[in-house]
Amino acid sequence: MRQRIGVERLNKPITIEDVEQINQKQQSYIEQLSDKPKLWLAFCNEKLALASETVCFLLRQTLSNYRRGFPSQENHYLQRIEAQMTELKSVYVSFYHFAPGLIFQLKESQPEIYVWLMMQEEFGQDVEHLISGLMVASKIDKTMANVLIARSQLVQLDRILAELIDGNASGCEIYFEFLRIRQTLTTSLIKHWIETEKVTHQCAYPVLALYDNPAGIEWIEQNSNYEQWLFERIITKSDRNTWFRIQFGTQPSAINSPKVMLFAKLLELKEFEEIEITASYAPIAFALCGDWRLVPSILEHLLALEESEGEIWIQALYVVYGERLPLKPSDVGVEYEWEEICQKLVEWQDRDGYQQNLPSRLGFALSFESTLKAMQGQNITAEFRQWLWYQLCIQSRVYIPWDMTMPRYQQDWNFTRLRELPSASERFELRNQNAVVGY
């Protein structure tokens, strides 16, 4: 994994003035394009436009795949995307050697492609290119930016991000988020930025709390309201079930927040066992509890829904049953029309295919290991994996970083570390007993 950035590794802060000088230098290259023959320039721009159309599509497909499921090594479509993008990258490298302005002009016309290029070794080894790419990254779609930055293998990237924050360059909170996702922040560095007012308290203290830092824990407790930073607040409590009951009460009817209700389900509090199938949070609640006895009610509700409303229930059923479900979420609207899907599920129910002996995950007993496997499932969407991650951390009583934009090797590394903690597995398996006694 990457090396964490401590205060001692920081060099000269990168200031707004430094960034402006880089912009001016690159702008001069763009202006030089007007000196080129018009036919030559038109030819270059046409070829770049064709390449950019394909790259833009491939970037969106990459992001879509990350949302649909874990970016597994077995995902051959993602592998093909990577191969195509590597080929297309050579086009941009060639045009850069002809005239750098052809690439720098992409900052305005194709900012996502520009960020992708600047995060590649061919461009990003030049610090000015890297800084320029990061400045543009702070202005594009946040999730796309997270994917592009998280996947970058540039050795100096984390240090440059830290020095941009240290220099108060615009976009500091976004750069902080990049470092968080890349797992290169340190407690000392966060405290340094709090003291020097480089990042906001709202940005820094919740991360410190997850690092089990007393100052962070105290700050989120004093500055949160209702559901704000609820994951951070729960995971830092030793007696989390009792705390939750004191904080939110024991009457489901008194809670009007789907997020709070889902955390109650995740904690497996007896008072919140019942699931209202028509509620907006119900599919995730079902996936968290894995109670097969709810399936008849779910299917009765599902049959009355349109595809756009019912698709999330297929995803929830897959979290619980995995390959034992007669179809995959990716089959919806591709392999089968909605009417066919409903029919297959009814037939599955009629032959008692849904019946299990225990609460289930991926068709196996709901356990620490089956939850980790679900986190690495190609057919489990980011929304469900987010809640499974909350469940893993809270019920195992250990924080492991996770974000759906992390590349495969980083997620795998985190899951391997968690598997190597026998106490985490033991605590997860004892969660029901803990819920009863209030721990």
- Any residues with CB less than 8 A from the CB of 103 and at least 6 apart, and which? 92, 95, 96, 114, 117, 123
Q: How far apart are CA 254 and CA 391, in angstroms?
A: 23
Please determine, for residue 423, whether its predicted confidence score (pLDDT) is greater than 80: yes
At 1 the pLDDT is: 59
Handedness of CA 177, 184, 390, 328 (dihedral sign): positive
pLDDT of residue 432: 66
DSSP 8-state secondary structure symbol assigned to residue 367: -
Tell me the pLDDT tens digit for each residue of 60-101: 999 999 999 999 989 999 999 999 999 999 999 999 999 999
Asked if residue 437 has pLDDT above 90, the reply is: no
Does residue 188 contact residue 6 with C-beta atoms inside 8 Å?
Answer: yes
Residues 145 and 174: beta-carbon distance below 8 Å: yes
In sequence order, what are the beta bridge partners of 361?
364
Residue 439 is predicted with a pLDDT of 36
What's the residue count for the chain? 439
Q: Can you give the residue ranges of every domain in the chain?
A: 7-185, 230-434
b/e code 358-370 from CB counts within 10 Å (16+ = b): ebbbbebebbbeb
Mean pLDDT of all residues in 333-354: 95
pLDDT of residue 3: 83
What average pLDDT does the segment 405-413 reach? 97
Cα–chain center distance at 312 = 18
Tell me the Cα Rg of the chain: 25
Kindly report, residue by residue over 137-181, the tens digit of the pLDDT. Answer: 999 999 999 999 999 999 999 999 999 999 999 899 999 999 999
Report pTM: 0.94
Residue 219: which pLDDT band, with cuts at 50, 70 and 90? very high
Q: CB under 8 Å to 245, separation ≥6 — which residues?
A: 269, 271
Unique residue bearing structure tokens 């990049």: 178
| pLDDT, tens digit, 9 for 90 and up, residues 257-282 | 999 999 999 999 999 999 999 999 99
Where residue 400 falls among pLDDT bands split at 50, 70, 90?
very high
- Asked if 385 and 404 touch (Cβ cutoff 8 Å), the reply is yes
What residues have CB less than 8 Å from 356, skipping those under 6 apart?
A: 292, 363
The pLDDT assigned to 2 comes to 80
- What spatial distance separates the first Cα and last Cα of the chain, rounded to whole Å? 34
pLDDT band, very low/low/confident/very high, at 9 (cuts 50, 70, 90) = confident
